Amino acid sequence: MKEIYRACKKCKRITTEKICPIHGDEKTTTEWMGFIYIVETKVSSISERAGTEMPGMYAIKVRQ
């Protein structure tokens, strides 16, 4: 079965779960476009610009 990737509406983190593993209460959506993969947040200018502090996959645009 194919996994469906979802993005958190608050932090934009991409997951396969219906609830964000970071917030625990935010719902996720399948309506997102593009993604970035951040490995090292301390040296990444992309991470700084996106406002993320944890490594992982993040959606560029999430439909609210």
CATH number at residue 40: 2.20.28.90
> Over the stretch 11-61, which tens digit does the pLDDT of each residue have?
999 999 999 998 888 889 999 999 999 998 888 888 888 888 899 999 999
Rg of the chain over all Cα atoms, to the nearest angstrom: 11
Asked if residue 1 belongs to a domain, the reply is no
Q: Is residue 20 part of a domain?
A: yes
The answer as to whether 51 is a domain residue is yes
What does the block give as tokens for 20? 């964000």
Q: Is residue 46 part of a domain?
A: yes
Q: Which parts of the chain are beta strand (E)?
A: 6-8, 14-15, 28-29, 32-38, 56-62
Cα–Cα distances in angstroms (integers) from residue 48 to residues 4, 12, 43, 45, 53, in the given order: 27, 14, 9, 5, 8
| 42 found inside a domain | yes
> What's the confidence (pLDDT) of residue 42?
85
Is 25 a member of any domain? yes
Domain of residue 30, residue span: 6-62
> How many folded domains does the chain comprise?
1
